[in-house]
Chains A and B, each alone.
Chain A
Amino acid sequence: MNIGTRKILDRSFTALGVTSIVLMAMALLAVLVPIVNGGIKAVFFQATIEHRKLMYNEFGRGDADELERQIRQAESIREPLFAILANFDAELETMDDVSLKRSYRSKYNQVRNHLHDLLGPLPGDTEPLLLRFQYGKTRWAQAEEVLHDLLFVTKWDSSNPTVMAKKYFVPRVDDFQGTALAPLFAYVETHLDEMLLPQRTFYWGFLTDKALDAHIFGGISAEIRGTFFLAIGAMLFAFPLGVIAAIYFTEYAKDNFLTSMLRSANSTLAGVPSIVFGLFGLAFFINTLKVSESKSVLAGSLTLAIMILPTIIRAAEEAILSVPKTYREASLGLGATKWRTIVTVILPAALPGIMTGGIISLGRAAGETAPIIFTAAVSVGATVGLADVFSQPTPALSWNIYNLASEHEAANEIRHVQYGMVLALISIVLLLNMSAILLRARISKKLKG
Chain B
Amino acid sequence: MAQSRVGDSSTSGAFTVSDGRRRVQKITKIFGEGLLFTIASFVALVVLFIFYFVARDAIPFFQLRGFTEFFTSTGWYPADEPGEFGALAIIYGSVMVTIGSALIAVPLGIAASICLSDVLPFSVRQYAKPVIEMLAAIPSVAYGFFALVIFAPLLQNFGGPIMMWAWWLLAGPFLILAVIVLSDILSSGEINHGKRSRKRVLLNIFFGAIAIGFLYWVGNVLSAIQIMTGTNALNVSIILSFMALPTIVSVAEDSLQAVGRELREGSYALGATRAETIVKTILPAASSGILAAVILGIMRALGETMVVWMASGNSSHIPDPWYNYLDSIRTLTATIAGDMGEADQVTGSARYHVLFAMGLLLLIFSFASNLISERIVVRQRKILSGQ
Contacts and interface: CB of A to CB of B under 8 A. Distances in A.
Do A and B interact? Answer: yes
Interface of A: 1-2, 5-10, 12-21, 23-25, 27-28, 31-32, 34-35, 163-164, 241, 244-245, 247-249, 252-253, 261-262, 264-280, 282-284, 287-288, 306, 309-310, 313, 335, 337, 339, 360, 363-364, 366-370, 373-374, 398-399, 401-402, 405-406, 415, 418, 422, 425-426, 429-430, 433-434, 437
Contact of B43 (A269, A280, A364): A269
B130 to A, nearest CB: 6
Contact of A275 (B108, B119, B299, B362): B362
A89 B113 CA distance: 72
A274 B305 CA distance: 7
The 6 A-B residue pairs with the shortest CB-CB distance in the complex, in nearest-first order? A273-B303, A367-B139, A17-B115, A13-B275, A248-B40, A265-B44
B112 A21 contact: yes
21 contacts: A10-B274, A13-B279, A14-B274, A18-B120, A28-B138, A245-B42, A262-B41, A262-B43, A272-B366, A273-B299, A274-B140, A276-B54, A276-B362, A278-B336, A279-B54, A309-B46, A337-B25, A373-B337, A374-B344, A399-B141, A422-B145
Contacts of A418: 145, 149
Contacts of A275: 303, 305, 333, 336-337, 359, 362
Q: Is the interface of A mostly helix, strand, loop or mixed?
A: helix
Given A21-B120, A262-B40, A12 B177 contact: yes
A12 to B, nearest CB: 6
A265 B188 CA distance: 55
Contact of B130 (A249, A276, A373, A437): A437
Interface stretch (B72-80, B212-220, B369-377): B369-377
B61 interface: no
B87 interface: no
A240 to B, nearest CB: 9
Interface stretch (B3-11, B63-71, B178-186): B178-186
Contacts of A278: 336-337
A381 to B, nearest CB: 15
Contacts of B367: 268, 271-272
A370 B37 contact: no
A24 B305 contact: no
B355 interface: yes
A262 B48 CA distance: 11
Contact of A274 (B120, B143, B184, B303): B303
Given A9-B181, A21-B120, A425 B142 contact: yes
B141 A369 contact: yes
B347 A287 contact: yes
A34 B337 contact: no
B304 to A, nearest CB: 8
Nearest to A269: B47
Nearest to A404: B145
Contacts of A9: 177, 181, 273, 275
A13 B306 contact: no
A430 B336 contact: no
Most B CB within 10 A of own CB, among A31, A253, A271: A271
A272 B188 CA distance: 53
A284 B344 contact: no
A19 B114 CA distance: 12
B367 to A, nearest CB: 6
A313 B43 contact: yes
Nearest to A421: B145
A279 B367 CA distance: 16
Contacts of B41: 262
Interface in B118-146: 119-120, 128, 130-135, 137-146
B135 A271 contact: no
Contacts of A261: 44
Given A21-B120, A262-B44, 12 more contacts: A12-B173, A17-B112, A24-B245, A278-B336, A280-B53, A283-B53, A360-B137, A369-B141, A402-B310, A418-B145, A418-B149, A434-B130
A20 B362 contact: no
Interface in B260-291: 273-276, 278-279
Given A31-B242, A265-B43, A402-B144, A16 B111 contact: yes
Contacts of B278: 13
Nearest to A426: B142
A27 B40 CA distance: 39
B115 A21 contact: yes
B29 to A, nearest CB: 8
B119 A271 contact: no
Contact of A28 (B43, B131, B296, B310): B131
A266 B47 CA distance: 8
A21 B131 contact: yes
A404 to B, nearest CB: 9
Contacts of B177: 8-9, 12
A448 to B, nearest CB: 14
Given A13-B278, A273-B366, A283 B306 contact: no
Nearest to A338: B29
A19 B177 CA distance: 15
Most A CB within 10 A of own CB, among B47, B143, B200: B47
Nearest to A18: B115
Given A13-B275, A401-B142, A401-B145, A370 B337 contact: yes
Contacts of B383: none
B32 interface: yes
Nearest to A261: B44
B275 A14 contact: yes
Contacts of A337: 25
